Structure 1
Amino acid sequence: MTADDRARPIPQGSAGRSDDDVYTVDTRRRGRAAPSTPRAGRPRAAAPPPAPPAGGYDEYGRPLPSGGAPGGRPPGTGRPLREPREPRGPRRPRRARRVLSLVVLLLVGWVAFTAVAPWHAWSTVSREDTEPSGERPAAGDGNTYLLVGSDSREGLSAAQKKALGTGSAEGRRTDSIILVHVPSGSGKPALISIPRDSYLPIPGKGKNKVNAAFALGGPKLLVQTLEQATGLRIDGYVEIGFGGFATVVDSLGGVDICVPRNIKDAKAHLNVKKGCQTLDGATALGYVRARYSDPKGDLGRAERQRQFLGAVTKKAATPGTVLVPWRWWGFTHAAASSVFVGEDTSLLDAYRILSTMRKVSSDEALSLVVPVSDLNASTNAGSSVLWDDQRAKDLFGMLRDGTPLESPPEGTDGKPTGG
């Protein structure tokens, strides 16, 4: 290139473009101007950094809307922002919670069942009007109930009668008569046996053995006779038959009895050895019925009956009975199916009777016999039992007046006083 060439001016406009100029044409989109290539020798200014969003950034680096607050709902996210969570304490394992819930549920169910079973059984008992007519003694301290064991064969098949040795006599006669007294204050409750051959005045029938009152006028006349003889108002009545004894015992899987001596009684179908043993229903029935083989006669039988009642209620209250649903249900319904109760006798009355019988086995209740003076007196009714009138009057007076009893009063051990 010569000096003249360097001095010649470059033409302007399209005609004056230099051949050294380079152009870039954007053929991807029409109508959009292609950026021009920076001219040589002119430095390009750096682009300023983008301004931060007015609302800042969330925990994931996403811009927040202007004026947004934590927990707000950014446009397009569809959910609120999550706040940082505080650390939680250790969680109880779900399995432990399930086991605990199951235990609580079973406990509640068991408590409900133990209450419902006797309530339902009580609704099925046979009821009878046992309230005597005429004048009755005034109410005394506490409550007095009449518990009767009858020789009723009702509900027994011919085979059962033969197996139990009950015979086939019709009707109901008393086999045992027991007064159950529950004081309202201090002192022990008591079971008082009334010998069934007791020679007493029977309202409208003259003097006779007390079991004749039951045969002649049923529970009403028996209640009236005993109220007149004792001066105690009888507040409830419960009667259980032969079949009931056996059924109740078998529902418990037998009862534990300590037999005081060898007993063999053909009439009672009984043959047991001395010592503690478990008696089934048929054997237990023979044990409480045996009379002729006992040197104490009717008083010895009454003693065994009180022992038996204590053993039954003790077995009924054990965990092996109450905690086993089918056994608890079986016991309550076996007992209910074999008893007659007075129309005015409540479930609470039945509970008091059972509770007193149970306490006899642990010496928390007294086991007594009405004081007697003669076990074999000759009367117009045959061989009879005569009461010791003064001692009997004293005993029933203490019960009526609420005198606390902690030990057996004199003459209540079953031994004749001789007058």
Structure 2
Amino acid sequence: MAGLVVLVAAVALYLDFSLGRVPAFTDYADRTAPAQGTNWLLVGSDSRDGLSPQQEQDLVTGGTADAAGSRTDTVMLLHIPAGAGAPTLVSLPRDSLVPIEGHGPNKLNAAYAYGGPTLLSRTVEEVTGLRIDHYLEIGLGGFAGVVDAVGGVRMCLPQAIHDPKIDLTLAAGCQQLTGAQALGFVRTRALARGDLERAEHQREFLTSLVRKATSREVLFNPVRSVPMTWRLADAVTVADGDHLDDLGRLGYQASTAGEGLITATVPTNGGMDMPGVGAVLFWDKEKSAELFTALGQDRPVPREALAGAR
């Protein structure tokens, strides 16, 4: 028994050591103080790091030359209340027009391109008024690998999706998505409502992936759970103060929330084609302030402040 305990501890230490780490946070003047509850910044980057040319072709990512500097494909804020309330997962559309320190107004995903996780987290803190406690990022290949490791994820699509730019064709109805298909599903912009609908896809898939990864089908099946654990440790990047136990708590809290998890997109109020920047979205100042004030005070968000809530 003692040997088993030592082995488990050694594996846990190795997995914790395997996590990629970045200096995601920095102190700056007038930074928001920590508050009740826990805030995670969840980021999906378009980084091709670690992908072979064959993998880039299989996942239809384009090469590193096509990426023109890494940006964020997905930005979400997860608030986990200190008490027994339901967690809230809020999509922050990548095309949101926000002020970026040292660079002026630009799309939210440009903050990552300009200054990596540190500038992105600062930008999110400044536009939401919330203190970010933890950071988690996953790249293209890592995302697809985790999906394949759990045996794919079942999604029910209300309508077919066809995006020749990323070689994606999905029929309407329920189906099991592979890693490559899932990557296309969360990345496609061939949607009627553009970035807003894309954000909904990302939230829907993330919640389905968490449910699958924490299901008995996966957790109690070593054929699935062991590859998933190794894939996760190799695929994710966290803040330099985060550890494996933080990820464990995140997974537990997200999975136990079940259908009670509140998901929404930050309220928006139109947009425009901004010279030198491209198509941008404007946040609804009143409703977004109401949303983030409620989260900052660790209280339920008024329904009218939630856009596309589910």
Does the TM-score normalized on the shorter chain lie above 0.5? yes
- Residue in structure 2 matched with residue 162 of structure 1 by the alignment: 57
CA offsets 1:255-292 (integer angstroms, 9 cap, x no match): 1111221011112321111111111111111111111x
Residue identity opposite 2:91 in structure 1: S
Q: Report the Cα distance in structure 1 between the residues aligned to 2:209 and 2:278, rounded to whole angstroms.
A: 34
- Amino acid paired to 1:396: F
SS at the partner of 2:259?
coil
- 2:269 aligned with 1:373: yes
Any residues of structure 2 matched to 1:352-391 within 5 Å, and which? 352-358=249-255, 362-374=258-270, 376-380=271-275, 381-391=277-287
Looking at secondary structure, tell me which structure has more helix per residue.
Answer: 2
Report the equivalent of 1:233: 131
- Pairwise CA distance, 1:390: 1.1
Going from structure 1 to structure 2, the CA distance change for 1:355 and 1:299 (only over 3 Å counts) comes to: farther
Query: How much has 1:121 moved relative to structure 2?
Result: 2.4
Matched, 1:186 2:84: yes
Secondary structure of the residue aligned to 1:299 is helix
Gapped regions of structure 2 (runs ≥ 5): none
2:291 aligns with one of 395, 406, 409: 395
* 2:164 aligned with 1:266: yes
1:174 matched to 2:68? The reply is no
Unmatched segments (≥5 aa) in structure 1? 1-104
Confirm whether residue 247 of structure 1 aligns to residue 141 of structure 2: no
Give the total of aligned pairs.
303
Partner of 1:350: 247
Cα distance in 1, alignment partners of residues 253 and 50 from structure 2: 28
Aligned to 2:15: 121
Q: How far apart in 1 are the matches of 2:307 and 2:6?
A: 42
Alpha-carbon shift at residue 346 of structure 1 (Å): 2.9
Q: CA deviation at 1:150?
A: 0.4
Q: Secondary structure at the match of 2:32?
A: coil
Q: What secondary structure sits across from 1:145 in the alignment?
A: strand
Change (3 A) 1:163 1:144: same
Q: 1:368 to 1:319 in 2, by over 3 A?
A: same
- In 2 relative to 1, CA 156–249 (structure 1 residues): closer, same or farther, beyond 3 Å? same
- RMSD of the alignment, in Å? 2.3
C-alpha contact (below 8 Å) 2:98/2:105 kept by paired residues: yes
Cα distance change of structure 1 residues 112 and 296 upon mapping to structure 2, 3 Å threshold: farther
Question: Hey, what's the Cα distance between the residues in 2 that align with 1:181 and 1:197?
Answer: 22
Query: Whose strand proportion is higher, 1 or 2?
Result: 2
Q: In 2 relative to 1, CA 118–294 (structure 1 residues): closer, same or farther, beyond 3 Å? A: farther
C-alpha displacement at 1:207, in angstroms? 0.8
**Shift of residue 412, structure 1, vs aligned partner:** 2.1
- The question of 1:288 aligning with 2:186 is answered yes
Q: Provide the rounded CA distance (Å) in 1 between the counterparts of 2:180 and 2:286.
A: 40
Shift of 1:116: 7.1
What is the Cα deviation at residue 357 of structure 1?
4.3
Matches within 5 A, 1:194-233: 194-233=92-131
- 1:73 is matched with none
Distance 1:358 1:259, change over 3 A: farther
Partner of 2:203: 306
| Identity in percent | 41
8 Å CA contact 1:191–1:356 kept in 2: the answer is no
Distance 2:165 2:216 in 1: 36
CA contact (8 A) 2:142 2:232 kept: yes
Structure 2 residue aligned with 1:146, among 41, 47, 72? Answer: 41
* Distance change in 2, residues 1:329/1:224 (3 Å): same
**Structure 2 residue matching 1:225: 3-state secondary structure:** helix
Contact 2:15-2:244 within 8 A present in 1 as well: no
- 1:119 deviates by 5.5
Is the alpha carbon distance of 1:176 and 1:113 closer, same or farther for their aligned partners in structure 2, counting shifts above 3 Å?
A: farther
CA contact (8 A) 2:291 2:305 kept: no
Paired residues for 1:322-341 under 5 Å: 322-341=219-238
Q: Give the drift of 1:152.
A: 0.5
What amino acid maps onto 1:268 in structure 2?
Answer: I
Larger Rg: 1
Aligned runs of 1:5-44 on 2, under 5 Å? none
Shift of 1:141: 1.5
